Homo-oligomer: A and B are copies of this chain.
Amino acid sequence: MTLDCNTRYDGGRTHPRPLSRQIDLMAGIVVTGASSGIGRAIAIRLAADTVARPRPTPTRMLIHYRCNRAGAEATANEVRGMGVDCQIMAADLSKIPTAEKFAQNALDQMGPIDTWVNNAGADVLTGEPAAWSFHEKLRWLLDVDLCGTAAVSRIVGPAMAEQDRPEHGEPEPGEPEPGEQKQDEKERGEKEHSENAGEGAAATPSMVFIGWDQAAEGMEGDAGMMFGPVKAAVMAFAASLAQTLAPRVRVNTVAPGWIQTAWGESTSEYWNERATTQALMGRWGRPSDVAAAVAYLSRPEAGFVTGQTVNVNGGWNRKFA
């Protein structure tokens, strides 16, 4: 049940561009599983947001992938084309030690993390795994989506909680210096109040997980019994992580509905009909719809949002046709 790919984990040495020397002043963004689909859309959207800020912060981005190096490079090139420093890093998150090494390498290379998006998830609908048994698929999904993601987050989250927070642009007069920021949580919470007011203020770093809008309510068949538990588990992990890391890191989940990715595009008339009927909006979702929600939750303006789930599912259609 182990999958091979041409690009094996290389300990984080896959960075084709020299590291910025301004690392301390930069806002680090990491998106896992960003070689295609929703992950790629998130990376591109977060890069666009960075550039569009009135006083753009120098930002560097890390694109994680497992096998699809060409896809990761394509994502990275789009990001670089927008003027954002970007590197790629391969890691098979289905192995705990590899996942942990990836997390540590990412932290080492990126410096302070502003935004971390846990988007990587196993694909059991296409390729070799499509032929696996239910239990093999469930296990593979748990290995990557839940256990691997948890391994990464349990290293990255506490590090984000401890880090000196990057500034968005120049601090306002009277703003605290990074070095002054290690206070007890209570004080920090209060200080936050004034800090976030200014555009240049430091923001609480943010983690976003990707869930599934149908997980808790259930879906019939093998797909429901497989993706439901796995994604419900991811969302529950995020909720507990939010309780654990607050108020130093915000943790939220975006729960997509039926999104037209590679799978959706090539799918049957049945799924086309189902996706467009079960969404109130009468259409498939797009990766950019999910990316926009991730972008909102990652911005300083969402500084009072943590432990929440935003469904991006076109609204569940409860009407009776």
Contact = CB atoms under 8 A, between A and B. Distances in A.
Contact of A318 (B150, B220, B284, B320): B220
Contacts of A320: 273-274, 277-278
A194 to B, nearest CB: 10
Contacts of A147: 135, 138-139, 142
Contacts of A217: 239, 307, 316, 318
Contacts of A231: 236
Given A135-B151, A218-B307, A304-B285, A224 B240 contact: yes
B283 A247 contact: yes
Contact of A282 (B151, B188, B242, B285): B188
Nearest to A192: B283
A87 B246 CA distance: 41
A19 interface: no
Contact of A235 (B197, B232, B234): B232
Nearest to A310: B310
Contact of A240 (B192, B219, B247): B219
Interface in A114-156: 134-135, 138-139, 142, 146-147, 150-151, 154
Interface stretch (A6-14, A78-86, A288-296): A288-296
A219 B237 CA distance: 9
A20 interface: no
Contacts of A247: 280-283, 314
B318 A214 contact: yes
Contact of A220 (B215, B243, B274): B243
A222 to B, nearest CB: 9
Query: 6 shortest A-B CB distances, which residue pairs?
Result: A189-B282, A218-B239, A224-B240, A232-B236, A246-B280, A229-B233
